[in-house]
Structure 1
């Protein structure tokens, strides 16, 4: 099926302001590309693109004073299958992990593993290793944390999510990532588009989503502690240690975000 996806973000800037934007679908989806999701701006300004240390595609630009819009719109062909499922995936010993996975065992800005290690081993130390342990972590986070946009807070860490028992998708993801890392399972933060295709109605307004990838059986696998189920039409934008590594927009000055639209829908 053909999936139309994109976003529109309307800002107001009191003065000329540099921006780094991460709004394009990751290159892993380019083989499914029908219409490239170019980043456009109104008014039009020069855009310089580069890859960051995690391989994410970033756009560097400067917004003029006044109203400013950034937008993308692309069409991708999706196979219509749900996230891959492989319950036999085994956990590696730390000494057998590839070197580039080791950074995803460490604590980070929002994944305060030093505060969660003892609780992680208490909760999951007796679970079967590998896929079953990661699923047990996702089940626990999904059950213990209450979702609500009114609970959003940009500074909330994983340990605070556990204590408060509430948050948005990034908080679910940070907590599950932290538990995995405490259990010596590499886990990385992902952000992107997630459709409601195949989900019962009514659908909530579309937004960007967060999930995680864990390293088991020599590859990375998608897990989604917020929804705790495999989904259709998930499109990655960026990966990192946590949300601090993949801000959709990083503005270097005062601004106001007004209109914000995200869509992921079947295209005829």
Structure 2
């Protein structure tokens, strides 16, 4: 399966403003790219990439006063299969968790494990460790929160989402991540593309999506508390402890979002534009 994905963001600033962006497909999917990917800017700006501590591609630039358009259009090859399910994947004792996964057991900006530990153990302490325990957490988060764009709040934490019982996809992910970590299951936040492939088209405008991975059975596995069922065509852009580590854009000064479009669609051929 071929998936055409991309975006157009319009950002406005009053003075020259430094910015980093995580708007490229994650290096783990590099072999699946069927067209070159680049963050195209208008006006044309100098940019440079680096790899952060979580393995994400970050693009640095300085926005000039006025509006800057950031865009990308890329074709990615995908298996066309739903998210894999490994129902017999075991939960590792903490002393067997790899060193580089230990950070995903700790509390973070949006996932306050200290405030949610007692709740988590009361809800899931009786559930057998492993895939089933994670699925029980996903089910809980999926039904606990009411989804809606009108509920978006950039500062809402997992505990606040649990109390308010509303949110967008990042809130579903944060809640499930926090509960997993409380139960000693490494969990990391993921962001990327997820189009309406294999499901009825959504009534709302397309957006980027947030889900999470957990470490079970010696590997990382995808879970999605917002949708709560395997999906086709998930394309990772960045992962980290929570939304702080995976922000699409981080500006070092005031900025206004003056335009936002995302597209993710199945296509049947690769069209290359001559240089």
What range is the shorter-chain TM-score in?
A: over 0.9
Is it true that 1:186 corresponds to 2:163 in the alignment? no
Aligned length, in residue pairs: 268
- Correspondence for 1:243: 243
1:99-110 to 2 correspondences below 5 Å: 99-110=99-110
Which runs of 5 or more structure 2 residues have no equivalent in the other structure?
A: 269-275
Partners of 2:204 and 2:82 lie apart in 1 by: 20
Using the size of structure 2 for normalisation, the TM-score is: 0.96
1:6, 1:37 within 8 Å by CA — same for their partners in 2? no
- Correspondence for 2:273: none
- Correspondence for 2:127: 127
Partners of 2:55 and 2:31 lie apart in 1 by: 17
1:1-268 to 2 correspondences below 5 Å: 1-268=1-268
The SS at the match of 1:226 is coil
Partners of 1:193 and 1:173 lie apart in 2 by: 15
The SS at the match of 1:44 is coil
1:12, distance to aligned residue in structure 2 (A): 1.5
The SS at the match of 2:122 is helix
The SS at the match of 1:250 is strand
Partners of 1:221 and 1:107 lie apart in 2 by: 20
1:37, distance to aligned residue in structure 2 (A): 2.0
Partners of 2:127 and 2:203 lie apart in 1 by: 34
Using the size of structure 1 for normalisation, the TM-score is: 0.98
1:201, distance to aligned residue in structure 2 (A): 3.6
1:36, distance to aligned residue in structure 2 (A): 2.0
1:204, distance to aligned residue in structure 2 (A): 2.8
1:169, 1:209 within 8 Å by CA — same for their partners in 2? yes
Partners of 1:12 and 1:101 lie apart in 2 by: 38
Which runs of 5 or more structure 1 residues have no equivalent in the other structure?
A: none
2:8, 2:262 within 8 Å by CA — same for their partners in 1? yes
1:202, distance to aligned residue in structure 2 (A): 4.5
Partners of 2:231 and 2:203 lie apart in 1 by: 14
2:196, 2:202 within 8 Å by CA — same for their partners in 1? no
2:240, 2:246 within 8 Å by CA — same for their partners in 1? yes
Q: Runs (4+) of structure 1 moved beyond 4 Å?
A: none
Partners of 1:85 and 1:226 lie apart in 2 by: 17
- Superposition CA RMSD, Å: 0.8
